[in-house]
């Protein structure tokens, strides 16, 4: 029998947990189901994760890392507006192409906030970390004269639009409507970021 490296086994459990959470939600993601999806003995989960909660945190962090890796390509775009628009499209396309990951992330985030205490802190910290990393991507694309003060509000707007569009897509799975909404959002973001006077208007608020 071939022995699996600890890191490989850990990753297999994370992937299995994504699948199970996507199908059954956090409440239905029992360790028995996760072990079965990983084709591994139930007891072996505890060799990789001290508790089920540790596994859930690992899943949350894994999905966040994947989506941030996917949007790194926005760095090819010159200008904050175009980079933000590309970020939005890339994120939406990644989520709709990976629905189990999208469902797992959304369900885990809501579950963590509902739990309160340390769980809410983990969720908020992860969200803020994603915002900071995304802001870094946009800043790397800025052109001379663009307003750095717009970066963080623009990131928050993109995050909000992506979350809304992905939820809408789960409701109807209509790619034509999804594309039309993305196109409108892209035009709006580019106009907002690139229009003359954006710097002055933002600071006035």
Domain ranges of the chain: 52-198
Average pLDDT for 136-165: 92
Instruction: Tell which CATH classification among 2.60.15.10, 1.10.286.10, 1.10.357.10, 3.40.50.1820 matches the domain 52-198.
Output: 1.10.357.10
| pLDDT(15) > 90 | yes
Task: Give the torsion through C-alpha atoms of 128, 133, 135, 140, to 10 deg.
Answer: 170
Whole-number average pLDDT of the chain? 86
More confident position, 99 or 204: 99
Q: What is the pLDDT of residue 168?
A: 92
| pLDDT(190) > 90 | no
Which of 148, 147, 161 minimizes the C-alpha distance to 189?
Answer: 161
Percentage of residues of the chain with pLDDT beyond 90: 48
pLDDT tens digit string along 34-91? 999 999 999 899 889 998 889 998 998 898 888 888 887 655 667 888 889 999 999 9
Q: What is the pLDDT of residue 75?
A: 54
| pLDDT(5) > 80 | no
pLDDT tens digit string along 167-189? 999 999 998 999 999 999 999 99
Q: What is the pLDDT of residue 178?
A: 92
């Amino acid at each position: 029998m071939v022995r699996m490296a600890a890191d490989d086994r850990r990753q297999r459990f994370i992937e299995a947990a994504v699948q199970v959470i996507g199908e059954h939600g956090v409440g239905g993601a029992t360790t028995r189901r996760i072990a079965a999806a990983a084709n591994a003995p139930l007891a072996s989960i505890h060799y990789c994760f001290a508790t089920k909660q540790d596994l859930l945190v690992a899943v949350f962090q894994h999905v966040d890392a994947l989506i941030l890796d996917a949007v790194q390509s926005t760095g090819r775009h010159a200008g904050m507006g175009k980079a933000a628009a590309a970020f939005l499209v890339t994120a939406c396309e990644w989520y709709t192409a990976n629905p189990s990951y999208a469902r797992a992330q959304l369900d885990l985030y809501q579950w963590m906030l509902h739990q309160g205490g340390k769980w809410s802190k983990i969720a908020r910290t992860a969200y803020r970390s994603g915002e900071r990393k995304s802001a870094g991507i946009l800043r790397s694309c800025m052109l001379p004269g663009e307003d750095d003060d717009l970066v963080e509000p623009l990131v928050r707007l993109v995050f909000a639009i992506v979350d809304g569009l992905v939820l809408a897509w789960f409701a109807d799975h209509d790619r034509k409507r999804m594309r039309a909404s993305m196109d409108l959002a892209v035009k709006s973001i580019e106009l907002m970021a690139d229009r003359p006077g954006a710097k002055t208007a933002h600071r006035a608020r």
